[in-house]
Amino acid sequence: MGLSLTEKRRQIFAIAERVASGHGVEVFDVQLRRESIGWVLRVVLDRQDSGVDDDSISVDDCQKVSQDLNAVLDVEDALDHAYTLEVSSPGLDRPLRTPGEYQRFVGRLAQIVVSEAINGQTFLKGRIQEVTDGTVLLESNSRLHRVPFEIISRAKLEVEF
C-alpha cells in the first residue's frame, strides 16, 4: 500500500528542506496537487532568517533548488507518477503564519483576519508594531490593536510601493 498524500507531502518536504538548506534557503511550503495538467509539486522557498534587509528569493535561487530537487526526487523515487515541479518564493503579499514571521516583518503593513472581533472588527489592516508573548501589536489609523495569535485565522503582508 502506498503513502497517503499527507505522508508523501511530509516526505517531500523533508527532502526539499535538505536540498534548500544546501543553498542557504529554507522551505516555506510544499503542495502536491492533481490539476488539469496532471500532478503539480509546488515548493515555496524563503530566505533563512538572516536579519538582512534584502531577504528576497531570487530566480537563481529557485532555479538551483529546482534542478537539485528534481534530481534528488528522481534518485529517491519519492513520487511514483509524472509531475510538474514549480519552485517559487512566497511573493510580496506572503502569508504570515508564525510569531517569528511577524517579528521579521515589524514595520510592514499587514492584513489580519481574526475569528473573534477586536474592537468590533474581524478584518484588520495596519502596520506591525511589535510582537510579544502570544500577541501582535497592529497600528491602524492611529489606533493600536493587540491581536492574540490564537484568534488569527489568516494574515498576509500588504504590498506597498
Looking at residue 76, what is its pLDDT?
85
Task: Indicate the residue type of 120.
Answer: G
Q: Does domain 5-88 have CATH number 3.30.300.70?
A: yes
Amino acid identity for residue 61 in this structure: D
Mean pLDDT of the chain: 90
Residue 8 cell numbers, joined: 508523501
Map out the domains of the chain as residue ranges.
5-88, 99-157
Q: Name the band, by pLDDT with cuts 50, 70 and 90, for residue 2.
A: low
CATH for 99-157 is 2.30.30.100
| Averaged pLDDT, 74-96 | 90
Q: Provide mean pLDDT across the span 144-159.
A: 95
Laid out side by side, the sheet with 109-118 consists of 143-148, 135-140, 121-132, 109-118, 152-157
Least confident of 38-42, 48-52, 93-97, 134-138: 48-52
Domain 5-88 and domain 99-157, same fold? Reply is no
pLDDT, tens digit (0-9, with 9 covering 90-100), for 19-76: 999 999 999 999 999 999 899 999 999 987 654 445 678 899 999 999 999 999 989 8
Count Cβ atoms below 10 Å from residue 57 Cβ, excluding itself. Answer: 20
The C-alpha atoms of residue 158 and residue 161 are separated, in whole angstroms, by: 10
Strands (E) across the chain are located at: 25-35, 38-47, 83-88, 109-118, 121-132, 135-140, 143-148, 152-157
The mean per-residue pLDDT over the stretch 141-146 comes to 92
For the entire predicted model, the pTM comes to 0.80
The predicted structure's pLDDT at residue 52:
46
Q: Is a pLDDT exceeding 50 seen at residue 82?
A: yes
